[in-house]
Amino acid sequence: MRKSPVTVIGLMGSPRRHGNTEQLLDRFLEGAADAGGNVEKVLLSKLAYSSCKGCNACHKTGNCIMDDDARVLYDRLLTADCIVVSSPIYTMGITTELKSFIDRAHYLWVRFFKMGSHIISPDEKTLRRGYFLSTAGMDQDDVFDTAFPMMRALFNILGFTHCTGVLARNMDGYGGITGHPTALIDAYRIGTEAVTGISEEKPCKDRIKK
């Protein structure tokens, strides 16, 4: 069992404060903190960063030409034990804030997968956990489907295993996240289990395979 505290960084992708998805994220982080984790919440809407320019300069150097908050945050995410990404679904997709942040990870993909070995070993990746939390107003089976490829890419680039999070649809029907019967409870439980599992050096049992 590890002795150092588990570091958990939560990324809030919604531009709306204190809404359904932020409440989910807060409960996850509360559970993680109660389990002994060092938690931090980052609001992407408050950071200063630009979208990827598609210039491909990083293909030569492995570095992004833009020196802004996105690069600083990616450096921190690479050192975390657990990251939890939270975004509502707007028009069948994640928010602009989150999508543009994920696009900026391209320089890391180049550095790790085209220029050399990843700084995170396969064994380390097994113990590093990434979670996705999301809400949607619609009660539709495929409402979250477009988010999975992007989450898989982000977690893979950063060296995290994609573990099962919380997807709460039909927010319009429930009247918001507080009306959902299980979502907030599940978020707290998963946050607790994330820190406990990492502390005990156990991989997550429920992994996303999509």
Q: Which of 3.90.420.10, 3.40.50.360, 1.20.1560.10, 3.40.50.1820 is the CATH number of 7-11+19-42+68-199?
A: 3.40.50.360
Distances (CA, A) of 210 to 64, 95, 151, 167, 193: 29, 20, 10, 14, 22
DSSP structure string for 136-172: -SS--TTTTTTHHHHHHHHHHHHT-EEEEEEEE--HH
- Residue 100 is encoded by which pair of tokens? 């543009």
Q: Is the pLDDT of residue 48 over 70?
A: yes
Distances (CA, A) of 182 to 88, 139, 169: 17, 16, 12
Give pLDDT tens digits for 62-110.
999 999 999 999 999 999 999 999 999 999 999 999 999 999 999 999 9
Distance CA 169, CA 173 (A): 9
Sign of the Cα torsion 194, 197, 199, 203 reads: negative
pLDDT at 208: 85
- Residue 123 is encoded by which pair of tokens? 């064994």
Calculate Rg over the CA atoms of the chain: 17
Q: Are 32 and 24 in contact (CB under 8 A)?
A: no
Q: Are 25 and 84 in contact (CB under 8 A)?
A: yes
Q: Is the pLDDT of residue 160 over 90?
A: yes
DSSP structure string for 162-209: EEEEEEE--HHHHTSGGGSSSHHHHHHHHHHHHHHHHHTT---SSB--
Q: Residue ranges of the domains in the chain?
A: 7-11+19-42+68-199
Q: pTM for this structure?
A: 0.96
Q: Is the pLDDT of residue 180 over 90?
A: yes
Per the listing, tokens 């657990």 go with 82
